[in-house]
Structure 1
């Protein structure tokens, strides 16, 4: 078992250092490790079977739908209206533009279900505007990168669907509702940091808008915000499944972007379909290869061995859960969220449950943990997208990110040690 884990990790990290795509790194590392105990043909056959089995899930059909709806909304003028809505509500507070950035990322991330989409859509507008108003471009980029990750917690979220599958059947509806309060808490924590930073730096506040203008901006944003109530309300009410909700999200986003706002032309739709197919293929390849690696780990009894090791370290749940969080933070800095969830859920979930943590609470803790990794070097996808938009270097935004990391870590500790934070909404709704 020890040699298996050593070879698996060694090959995987060597491939990562050589800039091999993560999905291929996982698959090749799994194949090389399996070749230690079997011939090439059965090893390849086993991996193919496990990959196919990992993708044979009805719940995964929701992912291409939510990916496509996010792309349509990204081009459909929805981001602009959400920014205007946030500006009307909180633009006059200290650090107004930074707060607008956070709220806009939260809203767009919740609607699109994608941190990268929120970074691109909101950052493309907000970063130049904040620079124009005298904000430090590196601080602005750090705020965008951190705030965009809230879309991983606030539903609809593709990564919560993947966790539901990896955990063995946790209710997607319950996970969606469990993510609301932690996601909002992360946003509020980031806003507190932004207000303190803005006051210390003397950044300008926006003008207080007339009530008539505020009302106009709110009305303009209602059709976009209604998507959240349509999708989540339908799932919670038992009207449709998460997969059906994804299809409805596509049709509604098409209706808004093409019929109401008229910012997406029918001629542009094939390109959006192609882009969504590419993104979906990448995600599904990650899921398939990660499922194969997860099976290998289970076959070698690595999750059970690691669980026994952790439980033997201490009988104090606080210490063990802190160790799990530290490991996941490190994992999130090097590994994409999808394979991280699929590989580490079978390893850490039994430990968490042995300590009295519900699969629901653990799922939110894990996703929040890995969300921090999305905006952390060296692999954080959101971080690199933000740097490209802000036209700055990665090392320049690390310092302003530190207080934002701290704010996210505080919320992570609350999620870890206070079950009510993630379980209150699902219990209230009887999920």
Structure 2
């Protein structure tokens, strides 16, 4: 009966997705249907309702809407332009310098906004016209923007890593945040390497460096924005405040900064709050539905069964990790990151822990794998936004994206099989 119920859970979920049901609805309905086959009606319904409520009854969960709000304020507060100018100074006179500026801008702004979509939209609107004026192909500009936008999901503060912390049983948010820096930066560098060789091939021009006086001004104007990362992440790592309190500090700081920059007007606040509520509602609905899905899987013993099945295929750690990565890459192409993290963490984490893999390291591998789905069809949000902002069709940009996709996969393999890329900073800070 348990085995049949497990099959029913996944088949009903797949069928609901195929007929076009929203992911959260598909998760809830498949979970309830499965529960009804193994529990009395009243017990199944009561247990489902209770689990959905308790699934979001967590203080750490408050960090998600607060970081979302801070990111939206940043996106509307004139901060992106200052970070772009700062990125220009950092990349210097590299071939295809505007493309490198786009990448570094995505890494900086994405880290602050915590959203690949916000990064792709903001950087695409700023850098796209500039690159077009310098003769860059639209497909090249769009591909660089799309490939680098997801770095903000890995470089902290990151809502994805907070979700993983919750579903993994309380893995340290501070440790996860510190673990995200090196993998996220390596992702950005890999994109820049491909962009460099493409720019050399196409002979794209190099932007002139500003004079010393302008460099000082640009750096000075960017420092207040960059201090947000130092204050929030530094405070969390130092134990001055929790991730939730750090998110509240981010909201306060970003609001003051946006008002000082005059990029935020008081009349904009209702729309900002409305957008925050809409995004937060979507995320929390996914989380609460996935909490129910996880309960059903646990009740049926599916994580242990899947773990045993994988271990029966091979007991080689490398082989198991490669199998999990392939599955996560495939899942990331058709499922949003948040529900995927919530569903696959309780399935794959026990497998990873059987051969002693650190939960922080595994969290980075899992999130990195799923974040790649942001730049791939059919549901890659960064892909759609980046192509739309660049005014190119998705099929036009896919070919240019392939080399970027390949180097990001290479970085994923490095992060997977060299644990210190994730664990060096957490260990350095004794997290």
TM band (smaller chain):
over 0.9
Which residue number in structure 2 is paired with residue 165 of structure 1? Answer: 166
Paired residues of 2:5 and 2:38 also in contact (CA < 8 A) = no
1:312-331 correspondence runs (5 A): 312-331=312-331
Which residue number in structure 1 is paired with residue 76 of structure 2? Answer: 75
Secondary structure of residue in 1 paired with 2:426: helix
Distance in 2 of aligned mates of 1:375 and 1:105:
14
Paired residues of 1:91 and 1:100 also in contact (CA < 8 A) = no
Matched, 1:375 2:361: no
Distance in 2 of aligned mates of 1:326 and 1:150:
20
1:93-108 correspondence runs (5 A): 93-108=94-109
Which residue number in structure 1 is paired with residue 429 of structure 2? Answer: 429
Paired residues of 1:88 and 1:213 also in contact (CA < 8 A) = no
Distance in 2 of aligned mates of 1:307 and 1:133:
53
Which moves more between the two structures, 15-24 or 218-227?
A: 15-24
Alignment CA distance shift 1:130-1:353 (3 Å): same
Which moves more between the two structures, 25-34 or 405-414?
A: 25-34
TM-score by structure 1 length? 0.97
Deviation at 1:209, TM superposition (A): 2.0
1:241-280 correspondence runs (5 A): 241-258=242-259, 260-280=260-280
Deviation at 1:41, TM superposition (A): 4.2
Matched, 1:131 2:121: no
Distance in 2 of aligned mates of 1:379 and 1:4:
29
Deviation at 1:167, TM superposition (A): 0.8
Alignment CA distance shift 1:93-1:296 (3 Å): same
Distance in 1 of aligned mates of 2:9 and 2:376:
24
Distance in 2 of aligned mates of 1:131 and 1:167:
45
1:313-352 correspondence runs (5 A): 313-352=313-352
Which residue number in structure 2 is paired with residue 140 of structure 1? Answer: 141
TM-score by structure 2 length? 0.97
Aligned Cα root-mean-square deviation (Å): 1.3
Paired residues of 1:91 and 1:99 also in contact (CA < 8 A) = no
Deviation at 1:19, TM superposition (A): 2.8
Matched, 1:232 2:233: yes
Secondary structure of residue in 2 paired with 1:55: coil
Deviation at 1:32, TM superposition (A): 2.4
Deviations along 1:80-111, one digit per CA (max 9) or x if unpaired, are 11001111221521111110110000000111
Structure 2 unmatched runs, 5+: none
Deviations along 1:54-98, one digit per CA (max 9) or x if unpaired, are 101111010111000000000100001100111122152111111
Deviations along 1:136-155, one digit per CA (max 9) or x if unpaired, are 21222121112111111111
Deviations along 1:222-281, one digit per CA (max 9) or x if unpaired, are 0100100010111111111110000110010000101x1011101111111111011111
Deviation at 1:12, TM superposition (A): 2.2
1:336-415 correspondence runs (5 A): 336-415=336-415
Paired residues of 1:78 and 1:224 also in contact (CA < 8 A) = yes
Deviations along 1:162-187, one digit per CA (max 9) or x if unpaired, are 10111111110010001011111111
Number of aligned positions between the proteins: 430
